[in-house]
Structures are given as structure tokens and as C-alpha cells.
């Protein structure tokens, strides 16, 4: 039962993706065409609140559920992989209209063809693992 809270958090996340329409191919197209504030509003609100919250957590050394201090893993400061990987991800995001979370939410929503996207996303991650030592980072 110790995982139950993650099931609930994930369920709420899935409902947010659906109710905000962030899982929709149409909304991603609208975003990449700069024709609506909707997606920018969603991500922007989350980031602004996130920055404030993370600052507060660090400042007041907030502890987690188990009483351990909340720590933040810095992202690796490697620029080639950030920009190249990011660009490849963006190409796929616009083409499929979904990033990893919404891919799964769409499957639950009943869009069975999204299972193809999910399968190839797993295959893409596998291919990265296979080629990792040969890629510039």
C-alpha cells in the first residue's frame, strides 16, 4: 500500500492532462503556431509557482513525509545533449502531438492507437541506451 499515494498523484495528473486538454494534438499545434495563450499559461503558471515553492523549500529547509530534508538533484551541465536531445524530442512532440505523460493518459482515455507511439517511445529510449557511448554529450 506504500505506493497508493503515487497512484492517486498519477491519477490526478492524468485528469489534469485531460481536463486542461494538454493531452490534445490540437493544443500542441496551437502552441507551436503561437495562436493561443492556453499551453503557455499552463506551463507558465506551473513554473512560476514552482520557482517560488522551490525557493521556499530551500530557504526553510522543508522536510518530506519521512522527515528527510527535500533535496534537489542538479541537472547535468552538458549542453550538446541538452540542445540536440531537446530538439529531437521537440520534433517528436509536434509530430505525435504528445509528450511521455500525455501518451499514457491518451491510452487510458481510450485512444488505442497511442499504444504505437508508446511502443516506439520505449524503443527510442532503448536505442538511446544502445548508442549512448557513441553520441556527443
Binding to another protein in span 94-133, by CB under 8 A: 94-101, 103-114, 116-130, 132
Given 19, 59, 60, 134, the residue binding another protein (CB under 8 A):
19
Q: Which is nearer to another protein, 59 or 75 (CB)?
A: 75
> Closest approach of Cβ 103 to another protein, in Å?
7
Direct distance between the N- and C-terminal alpha carbons of the chain, in angstroms, rounded to an integer = 40
> Binding to another protein by residue 3, rule CB under 8 A?
yes
Is the Cβ of residue 24 or residue 59 nearer to another protein in the bound state? 24
Q: What is the total count of residues that contact another protein (CB under 8 A)?
A: 112
Write the CB contacts of 75 (distance below 8 Å, at least 6 apart in sequence). Answer: none
CA atoms within 13 A on the CB side of 92: 15
Contacts 24+ apart (CB under 8 A), 41-50: none
Q: Spell out, one character per residue from 39 to 78, where the chain touches another protein: x when CB under 8 A holds, - when not.
A: xxxxxxxxx-xxx-xx--x------xxx-x-x-xxxxxxx
Helix (H) / strand (E) containing 85: helix 79-96
Q: In the set 35, 59, 61, 134, which binds another protein (CB under 8 A)?
A: 35
Residues 97/24, Cβ–Cβ less than 8 Å: yes
| 8 Å CB contact between 22 and 39 | yes
* Minimum separation from the CB atom of position 134 to another protein (A): 12
Smallest separation (angstroms) from another protein to the CB of 60:
13
Amino acid at each position: 500500500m506504500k505506493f497508493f499515494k503515487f497512484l492517486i498523484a498519477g491519477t490526478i495528473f492524468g485528469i489534469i492532462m485531460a481536463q486542461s486538454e494538454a493531452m490534445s494534438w490540437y493544443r500542441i499545434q496551437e502552441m507551436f503556431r503561437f495562436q493561443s495563450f492556453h499551453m503557455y499559461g499552463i506551463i507558465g503558471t506551473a513554473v512560476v509557482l514552482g520557482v517560488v515553492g522551490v525557493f521556499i523549500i530551500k530557504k526553510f529547509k522543508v522536510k518530506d513525509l519521512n522527515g528527510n530534508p527535500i533535496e534537489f538533484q542538479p541537472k547535468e551541465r552538458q549542453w550538446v545533449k541538452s540542445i540536440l536531445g531537446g530538439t529531437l524530442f521537440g520534433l517528436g512532440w509536434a509530430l505525435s502531438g504528445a509528450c511521455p505523460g500525455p501518451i499514457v493518459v491518451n491510452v487510458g482515455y481510450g485512444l488505442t492507437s497511442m499504444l504505437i507511439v508508446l511502443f516506439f517511445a520505449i524503443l527510442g529510449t532503448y536505442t538511446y541506451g544502445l548508442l549512448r557511448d557513441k553520441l556527443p554529450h
